[in-house]
Amino acid sequence: MNVSLYQAAAAMNAQTRWQEMITENLSAGTVPGFRKQDISFADVAAASPVNVNGATPASFYIPVATTTTNFQQGQMRPTGDSSDLAISGPGFFEVQLPGGDKAYTRDGEFQLNAQGQLATKEGYLVMGDAGPVQLDPHNTSAFAVSSTGQISQAGNPVGRLQLVRFSSPNQLTATSDGYLLANQPGLTPVPAGSKTTVQQGFLEASNSSSTTEMGSLINAMRIFEANQKVLQMQNDRMGQAITALGGTS
């Protein structure tokens, strides 16, 4: 078995996954509250130890890539829009998807729909402690949100934002449109608590840095090219060996 051939191919596969992850981070870098993906590499045993002619058994390993979500806080950016909300701390906004399921996000770029409900850009309803946040659509007074998520309109309380956290946020499943789902067994949201506060008129920026991601992309491409050369070299050696053995009588 040509171990180097398999190791180079596995390394190229891992670097391809890294490049895909970097592309995803760059494309979503302008989405408020976006949480970038990080990657780590490890070696796994590729086969059982091989004993050849009484020599010491040798173990062979190939690299694998594992991605995790980075929940580091993003920078707070003022917008002056009362419907823009930013979370400071470990919490999430809870929203209701069209099918009734709940999803979680740090993107607080909200708006009021025609019914006076607070909604996301996609139209998903933002949840309060008693259901979707409902304001009076006929009241022209601006609404206010306190640091604890308490909502009031014209000085009258109308509800409180449903702010939640998870003991193991890395188990949340990301959707294609940037929301997070708690669909793993035992993954239950709990009240965010005092460590989570809300800032009205602000949006939390993505925690992805375009400069850092571009540097990582260059490294990933260089490592991919190096392993590609190893793969080509091993392939050429195998071809030469086959040719030489085929020519012997």
- Residue-wise pLDDT for 181-235, tens only, equals 999 888 999 999 999 999 999 999 999 988 888 898 898 888 888 878 887 887 7
The mean predicted confidence, pLDDT, of the chain is 87
Q: Which residue has the tokens 């590729």?
A: 46
In the chain, how many H helices and how many E strands? 2, 19
* Shared-domain flag, residues 82 and 167: yes
* Shared-domain flag, residues 96 and 174: yes
Summarised one tens digit per residue, pLDDT across range 100-135 is 999 999 999 999 999 999 999 999 999 999 999 999
* Shared-domain flag, residues 145 and 197: yes
Is the pLDDT at 246 greater than 80? The verdict is: no
* Shared-domain flag, residues 200 and 213: no
* Shared-domain flag, residues 159 and 235: no
Q: Are 8 and 230 in contact (CB under 8 A)?
A: yes
Is the pLDDT at 51 greater than 80? The verdict is: no
Number of domains in the chain: 2
- Give the other-Cβ count within 10 Å of 243's Cβ: 9
- Higher per-residue pLDDT: 26 or 56: 26
* Shared-domain flag, residues 145 and 51: no
* Shared-domain flag, residues 66 and 168: no
* Shared-domain flag, residues 230 and 173: no
Position 139 scores a pLDDT of: 87
Position 219 scores a pLDDT of: 87
E-strand spans in the chain?
37-50, 58-69, 76-78, 85-88, 92-96, 102-105, 111-112, 118-119, 125-128, 131-132, 143-145, 150-153, 156-160, 163-165, 173-174, 180-181, 190-191, 197-200, 202-204
8 phi/psi in degrees, rounded to 5: -65, -40
Q: Are 180 and 31 in contact (CB under 8 A)?
A: no
Q: Are 130 and 159 in contact (CB under 8 A)?
A: yes
* Shared-domain flag, residues 166 and 215: no
Position 53 scores a pLDDT of: 61
* Shared-domain flag, residues 114 and 191: yes
State which residues form the domain around 111.
76-204
Cβ-count burial of 51 within 10 angstroms (0-12 exposed, 13-18 middle, 19+ buried)? exposed
pLDDT (mean) for 149-154: 95
Half-sphere exposure of 134 (CA within 13 A, CB side): 5
* Shared-domain flag, residues 200 and 85: yes
Distance of CA 105 to the CA centre of its chain: 11
pLDDT band of 17, cuts 50, 70, 90: confident
* Shared-domain flag, residues 121 and 190: yes
Q: Which residue has the tokens 């604890």?
A: 148
* C-alpha distances out from residue 29 to 24, 69, 78, 204, 212, Å: 8, 14, 17, 12, 11
